[in-house]
Amino acid sequence: VVSFFRGLAGVQQLTATELAPALASVRDALISKNVTADIAERLCASVGASLDGVTMASMTTITATVRSALRDALTRLLTPRQSTDILADIAAKRAAGGGPFVIVYCGVNGVGKSTSLAKTAFYLQRHGLSVLLAACDTFRAGAVEQLRTHATCLGVTLYDRGYGRDAAGVASDAIRRAREAGTDVVLVDTAGRMQDNGPLMAALAKLVAANDPDRVFFVGEALVGNDGVDQLTKFNAALADHQAGSGRVRLVDGVVLTKFDTVDDRVGAAVSMVYATGVPVVFVGVGQTYMDLRTMNTGALVKALLR
Amino acid sequence: AAIRRMSNNTVPDETVLKQMLSEIARALLEADVNVRAVQQLRGNVLSAVDISSLGAGVNKVKLIQKAVFDELCRMLDAGHKAVPLKRGHGSNVVMFVGLQGNGKTTTCAKYAYHYSRKGWKTCLVCADTFRAGAFDQLKQNATKAKIPFYGSYTETDPVAIATAGVERFRAEGYDLIVVDTSGRHKQEVALFEEMEQMTSAVKPTDIVFVMDSSIGQAAHDQAAAFRSRVDVGSVIITKLDGHAKGGGALSAVAATRSPITFIGTGEHIDEFEPFVAERFVGRLLGMGDVSGLMTT
Ligand SMILES: Nc1nc2c(ncn2[C@@H]2O[C@H](COP(=O)(O)OP(=O)(O)OP(=O)(O)O)[C@@H](O)[C@H]2O)c(=O)[nH]1
Ligand SMILES: Nc1nc2c(ncn2[C@@H]2O[C@H](COP(=O)(O)OP(=O)(O)OP(=O)(O)O)[C@@H](O)[C@H]2O)c(=O)[nH]1
Ligand SMILES: [Mg+2]
Ligand SMILES: [Mg+2]
């Protein structure tokens, strides 16, 4: 950012006082786009710091300068540092004969875990992979039938043992079954749980520790407000706490952000979650059919945020 | 927390008042209250409390606290009572609507259970033919609560099911028929049309808008869109056992012009309580006991 502005024939040195009103209005705009209040503030503070004392191009307004710096900051933030392509990793594991690639879906109640899992199954199938769905939500009414319906529609295998079972045990049986059958990928559904519910979070960590999946996906919804960051942070913390002392500690590797089709351009939840944790957004859900799974388009997202 | 910090200040003047309001505004934004509503509240409190005209000896901090508190309670007051359900004048039909995954099906069962425990003859109709496993979900909830239910695995038209179910239970003289519907959102026009058709078919006594307490700034637009298409008469806020403060509730009331009647506090059928505005405002502001504010 700095070098960009120095390169122009500037006349005006920006000061913190001059920047303040523009930063405040940008902050409010971000909050109304559903970026959490404190993260909107922190983003604006860092943009302000990067512009303080910088020479501004003579033809640009302070607002335009701030917006442009913010656009850069958001783009940098939202561009994943490592590849989020799971297909390559699945292929690698398959080539190495390492058994099924296991993905666990977790998150709070009703965010779209089971639906996203079914969409992922469809996506993997279209790439020639065989899939098994593991019905490890053994609690919520209708959860098993919901997954069975998806399995039937998609023509993939379902492993279920009904309700009331220990989810970790069901998952390991499902993985064993998939290994025997030579299935490429196991998608593990889990029951929704509130991030402050100690016993349920411990049970999730137990499932993860016992089955050592290749990926743990946290599912959140684009609709969520300030709670989103808290959810993701606490799911991660619970996984870390309950696996302390064991060998490889599995944390959340990716975020699936659902219901993007319901928020218009209030897409700030993506910013907040990535800013707070650095966990990349692997997929976004944009509707209720199997086709409605996308990867994130950083450019479009940033554009919506600044609109 | 903002309120607690203010209490250490004994003699606020105009600047202190403004600073206090800034802190409160911040707390409210962090509780997901709508950005514009927060600005409005600030203005309203500033004009309600005329600091300069207050004499010595008046507890000004308390006065401001009370002004904020009252203003929030006022925002939660739809200005009228919820649609009354009456026994003995034919069946009450209550239809549940809302965004995907916000807790409609679970709350329908809780609501029906609540009335059945009060001795009402209650039943459930599953008019969600879209979500995988929707009928099983309602069926299992209803069975556990020993509440009669109606639905279909084969009929694909939700309006037809709702019509048939309501007709049957009306004929059987039920006091309360609770109709569960699919999740929907304002961007999908066909889903809103289906909701209107359902309304004309079952002629509900009341339409309950169910909203998840974790919702952010999209709350107002979505709630307003539901209200613009059907006669929402009450609101239920779910998942308040979670960590979210639930500021979206203010938007739901403002946008639907309907009171909040109940809250959901867990996944189990009895985790359901009547809504109490004062307690809710205490939660919004991050305060425990707010009874001190209510009595002054
Ligand atoms: N509009 C929209 N709806 C979605 C999307 N993803 C999921 N849904 C809907 O959200 C609702 C809940 O989805 P589920 O997959 O059952 O959510 P879950 O997280 O598994 O829920 P629990 O298991 O009960 O915690 C369903 O009605 C889905 O159709 C999305 O991207 N867009
Ligand atoms: N913790 C908690 N979970 C709740 C509460 N109310 C509902 N849930 C959970 O939220 C999830 C979604 O609830 P549903 O009743 O399926 O939501 P819905 O609105 O019917 O969803 P769709 O029909 O897909 O639109 C389920 O896991 C419920 O168990 C609540 O008050 N607290
Ligand atoms: Mg599920
Ligand atoms: Mg439902």
Cα separation, A201 vs A208, in Å, equals: 11
Cα separation, B65 vs B27, in Å, equals: 14
Residue A107 has pLDDT above 50, yes or no: yes
Instruction: Give exposure, B248-277, as e/b (b: 16+ Cβ within 10 Å).
Output: bbbbbbbbbebbbbbbbbbbebeebeebeb
Measured in Å, residue A110 CA sits from the centre of ligand 3 at 7
Which run of H or of E encompasses B180? Answer: strand B176-181
Q: pLDDT tens track of chain B, all 296 residues?
A: 555 555 555 555 777 778 888 888 999 999 999 999 999 998 898 888 877 777 666 777 778 888 899 999 999 999 999 999 999 999 999 999 999 999 999 999 999 999 999 999 999 999 999 999 999 999 999 999 999 999 999 999 999 999 999 999 999 999 999 999 999 999 999 999 999 999 999 999 999 999 999 999 999 999 999 999 999 999 999 999 999 999 999 999 999 999 999 999 999 999 999 999 999 999 998 875 555 555 43
Residue A137 beta carbon below 6 angstroms from any ligand 1 atom = yes
- B218, B259 contact by CB (below 8 A): no
What residues have CB less than 8 Å from A248, skipping those under 6 apart?
A212
Cα separation, B284 vs B296, in Å, equals: 20
Task: Note the pLDDT of residue A56.
Answer: 76
Cα separation, A122 vs A287, in Å, equals: 14
Q: What value does the mean pLDDT take over residues A284-289?
A: 97
pLDDT band at A6 (very low <50, low <70, confident <90, very high): very low
Q: In the Cβ-directed half-sphere of A21, how many Cα atoms lie within 13 Å?
A: 4
- Please give the torsion angle defined by the CA atoms of residues A137, A143, A148 and A151, in that order, rounded to the nearest 10 degrees: -70
**Interface-testing mutation among B36, B214, B237, with chain A (most A C-beta atoms within 10 A):** B214
Q: Measured between beta carbons, which residues in chain B are less than 8 angstroms from residue A31?
A: 29, 35, 217
Q: Angle, nearest 10°, between helix axes B60-75 and B248-256? A: 50
B216's tokens: 């952010």
pTM of the full structure: 0.94
Q: Measured between beta carbons, which residues in chain B are less than 8 angstroms from residue A234?
A: 243
Residue A10 has pLDDT above 50, yes or no: no
Cα separation, A104 vs A90, in Å, equals: 14
**Interface-testing mutation among B33, B106, B212, B213, with chain A (most A C-beta atoms within 10 A):** B212
Task: Note the pLDDT of residue A264.
Answer: 95
Task: Note the pLDDT of residue A263.
Answer: 97
Task: Note the pLDDT of residue B288.
Answer: 56
Task: Note the pLDDT of residue B7.
Answer: 52
* Helix (H/G/I), strand (E/B), else coil: B215: strand
Q: What value does the mean pLDDT take over residues A108-117?
A: 98
Q: Measured between beta carbons, which residues in chain A are less than 8 angstroms from residue B186?
A: 262
**Helices then strands, each counted (H, E), chain A:** 12, 10
Residue ranges of B 56-95 with Cβ closer than 8 A to chain A = none
Which of A153, A195, A258 maximizes ligand 1 atoms within 8 Å of its Cβ, making it the mutation to test the pocket? A258
Considering only CB atoms, A37 lies closest to which of B30, B132, B139, namely B30
For A163, B138, B188, B194, B236, the CA distances from B198, given in Å and listed in that order, are 33, 18, 16, 6, 20
Which of A115, A224, A282 maximizes ligand 1 atoms within 8 Å of its Cβ, making it the mutation to test the pocket? A115
Cα separation, A86 vs B253, in Å, equals: 43
Name the residue at shortest CA distance from atom 14 of ligand 2: B103
Q: What are phi and psi of A164, to 5 degrees?
A: 80, -5
- B195, B231 contact by CB (below 8 A): no
Task: Note the pLDDT of residue A26.
Answer: 94
| Cross-chain Cβ contact B244/A225 below 8 Å | yes
Which run of H or of E encompasses B224? Answer: helix B219-229
Cα separation, B250 vs B284, in Å, equals: 10
Q: Which atom of ligand 1 is found nearest the CA of A146?
A: 16
How much is the mean pLDDT over chain A? 92
Helical ranges in A33-164 per DSSP H: 37-51, 62-78, 86-95, 113-126, 143-154
Cα separation, B157 vs B66, in Å, equals: 51
Residue A287 beta carbon below 6 angstroms from any ligand 1 atom = yes
Residue A11 has pLDDT above 80, yes or no: no
- How many beta-carbon contacts under 8 Å exist across A and B? 143
Strand order in the sheet with A101-106: A157-159, A131-136, A185-190, A101-106, A215-221, A254-258, A281-285, A293-294
pLDDT band at A8 (very low <50, low <70, confident <90, very high): very low
| Cross-chain Cβ contact A195/B242 below 8 Å | yes
A234's tokens: 């606490």
pLDDT band at A243 (very low <50, low <70, confident <90, very high): confident
Task: Note the pLDDT of residue A7.
Answer: 43
Chain B nearest CA to A140, separation (Å): 8
Task: Note the pLDDT of residue B295.
Answer: 44
By DSSP bridging, strand A293-294 and strand B149-150 are: unpaired
B107's tokens: 């709350």
Task: Note the pLDDT of residue B131.
Answer: 97
Query: Tens digits of per-residue pLDDT, A14-45?
Result: 888 889 999 999 999 999 999 999 999 999 99
B124's tokens: 């459930």
